[in-house]
Structure 1
Amino acid sequence: MLSVIPVKASRKDGPFDLYHDVIDLLKDKIVDGDIIVISSKYVANSQGRILNLADTVPSADAESLSRKYKMASKFAEIILRESDMIFGGVSGFILASYDGVLAPNAGIDKSNVKSGKVILYPDESYKVAENLKRRLYLEMGIHTGIIIVDSRLMPARSGTTGIAIACAGFEPVQDMRGQIDLDGNPLKVTLKATADNLASIANHRMGEGAESTPIAIVRDSGASLTDRRISPEEMIVPSEMCVYVRGFQSSS
């Protein structure tokens, strides 16, 4: 039966050796087949991906965005720097993507960080996940999957859920097309988002506030482990194919 084991860690105030700390925290806790879910903020913190707003110089484009969406120009500048694409926004939020992940303010967050600072998404998340998977095997001889998780708002839904912004060591998407439903109808478009589903399950136990549990072990998930390197493109639907983006664009 699937279970989730939260793992507490001490708070870090600056860059640290992520691999050493995670391996130390997981020692004698994991077994073959476990999926290790790690907070994106914990990874970003280890990389020093925290910025002082006061040190940011806004460009003319950032000034324009700040007026349009009623936010601080320094914050708008950081969003501009981090974004692959900006889709629009509302007062206080710019809807943008970072590494193909669509999120308000490109995933940049002011929570769980000291006042006057912001924390960004991790750099090279898939590389981090792959390296951690390999380190765990080399150090412990255990085959695991890795998810780097963030929380996000879902369209037209209240509250946040988890999303896998990167993963390694298991098949992130299960193709259900061609299988039969309960009434014998063939499934034509169904892809099961295994990584995102597990990210959300773990995120529920990891919390969003002061729990200090940046890691969770998901056991007996049924995920299919793999040695192949996972590509970011496997997890992303291009904006021109996304039903939400296309739907809003066609109605505007």
Structure 2
Amino acid sequence: MSAATRLEIFAPDGVPEVVAGDDLVALALAAAELADGDVLVVTSKIVSKAEGRLRRGSREEALAGETVRVVARRGETAIVRNRLGLTMAAAGIDNSNVPLGQIVLLPEDPDGSARTIREGIHEHGGANVAVVVSDTAGRAWREGQTDVAIGAAGLVVAEDFAGRTDAHGNELAVTLPAVADELAGAAELATGKLGGRPFSVVRGRADLVLPAGEHGPGAASLVRPDGADLFGYGAREAVLRALRAHDDDRRPFGAPAPATELAAAIREIVGLAPSHTGAADGALVVTYPRGTSRALRALVFAHGWTMNATDHPHEARLRPADV
């Protein structure tokens, strides 16, 4: 049986409560016998505690400082894009497994934390391991949560199968398993949420572990740039932001749509037929009746275009926006 078809996952007991300044390398080496090719998964909670990321107060009070922009809000629940580029509930701020009246923020640099732990284990324990810093996140369209990698070092974080063929001869085009997330989710089955086991070891995927000194792109490489995701806002928020048409809200809507797509949307929703100007930027011109300008502007904005008046009344020139 090859290493890629059998995994062993274990999470040692007996790790003491972590406080600011604790040496996570020493704790990991004391908890588990690590071997070359192992993947050590460390919960972000103890990384944050060791790095002094506990704060007094509530998640709501700390939310603004950790938020780059709000993606969706429903009552007290806020899904935001945080300063690490992660889209998470409450920016990943947590109030579990910490003293009452305190919260814990995510690590400042999870990839950097993973590199530090990896280097320390190699220096003091002699083993070449990969390190994953894991955290719990929800999934769109799915109930429940699972752990994902928010930091990684020494690991192939995604396996690129593009260009390979399957057993039937079909060429794979966009198959890119996020193995860092898969390892984090598998490890959580051993650590649990209330067991006090913040370290887990995944054994059997040494093929994913990079040579000593090579840390790889880290888990940050798994985060899509703002605007590259198809769901930059919640459904309700997308409607409101398109109607407001504020330039600061453009990027999450993504790159400008093709002129044909915008023209089709305008015909369907507003009943107008834009015409091409022949300009190099593919601009369109549309004449609109009174009372339709706001709906037209929202459609144009949502498709990544701009709408500017011309010298003729109720006529607008549409062109792709610079995002």
State TM-score, norm by structure 2: 0.66
- Establish whether residue 123 from structure 1 lines up as the match of residue 127 from structure 2: no
What is the alpha-carbon distance in structure 1 between the residues aligned to residue 65 and residue 43 of structure 2? 22
- Establish whether residue 234 from structure 1 lines up as the match of residue 218 from structure 2: no
What is the alpha-carbon distance in structure 1 between the residues aligned to residue 101 and residue 77 of structure 2? 18
What residue number does 1:69 align with? none
Q: Which of the residues 198, 205, 212 maps onto 2:196?
A: 212
Cα displacement (A) at 1:248: 4.4
Q: Which of the residues 172, 178, 181 maps onto 1:187?
A: 172
Q: Which has the higher contact order (CA 8 A, sep 6+)?
A: 1
What is the alpha-carbon distance in structure 2 between the residues aligned to residue 249 and residue 171 of structure 1? 37
- What does the per-residue CA deviation read over 1:58-79, in whole Å, with 9 as the maximum and x for residues that have no partner? xxxxxxxxxxxxxxxx633411
What is the alpha-carbon distance in structure 2 between the residues aligned to residue 246 and residue 87 of structure 1? 5
Instruction: Assess if the C-alpha contact under 8 Å between 1:170 and 1:223 holds in 2.
Output: no
Cα displacement (A) at 1:125: 1.2
Cα displacement (A) at 1:176: 1.1
What residue number does 1:10 align with? 16
What one-letter code is carried by the residue in structure 1 that aligns with 2:202? V
Q: Which of the residues 167, 174, 182 maps onto 1:197?
A: 182
What residue number does 1:143 align with? 128
What residue number does 1:152 align with? 137
Which has the greater radius of gyration? 2
- What does the per-residue CA deviation read over 1:82-113, in whole Å, with 9 as the maximum and x for residues that have no partner? 12332122122211123112110010011111
CA pair 6-75 structure 1, distance change in 2 beyond 3 A: closer
Instruction: Assess if the C-alpha contact under 8 Å between 2:67 and 2:91 holds in 1.
Output: yes
- What does the per-residue CA deviation read over 1:189-225, in whole Å, with 9 as the maximum and x for residues that have no partner? 121101000000001111112x000000000025422
- What does the per-residue CA deviation read over 1:23-57, in whole Å, with 9 as the maximum and x for residues that have no partner? 3323xx1111000000100110111111111xxxx
Cα displacement (A) at 1:139: 1.3
| Structure 2: runs of 5+ lacking an equivalent | 1-5, 240-323
What is the alpha-carbon distance in structure 2 between the residues aligned to residue 127 and residue 251 of structure 1? 34
Instruction: Assess if the C-alpha contact under 8 Å between 1:36 and 1:216 holds in 2.
Output: yes
Identical aligned residues as a percent: 24
What one-letter code is carried by the residue in structure 2 that aligns with 1:5? F
What one-letter code is carried by the residue in structure 1 that aligns with 2:51? Q
What one-letter code is carried by the residue in structure 1 that aligns with 2:30? D
Alignment of 1:14-25 (within 5 A): 14-25=20-31
Q: Which of the residues 38, 63, 68 maps onto 1:34?
A: 38
What residue number does 1:64 align with? none
Q: Which of the residues 135, 151, 158 maps onto 1:166?
A: 151
Instruction: Assess if the C-alpha contact under 8 Å between 1:177 and 1:189 holds in 2.
Output: yes
Instruction: Assess if the C-alpha contact under 8 Å between 2:95 and 2:102 holds in 1.
Output: yes
Instruction: Assess if the C-alpha contact under 8 Å between 2:129 and 2:154 holds in 1.
Output: yes
What is the alpha-carbon distance in structure 2 between the residues aligned to residue 151 and residue 76 of structure 1? 18
What is the alpha-carbon distance in structure 1 between the residues aligned to residue 199 and residue 89 of structure 2? 24
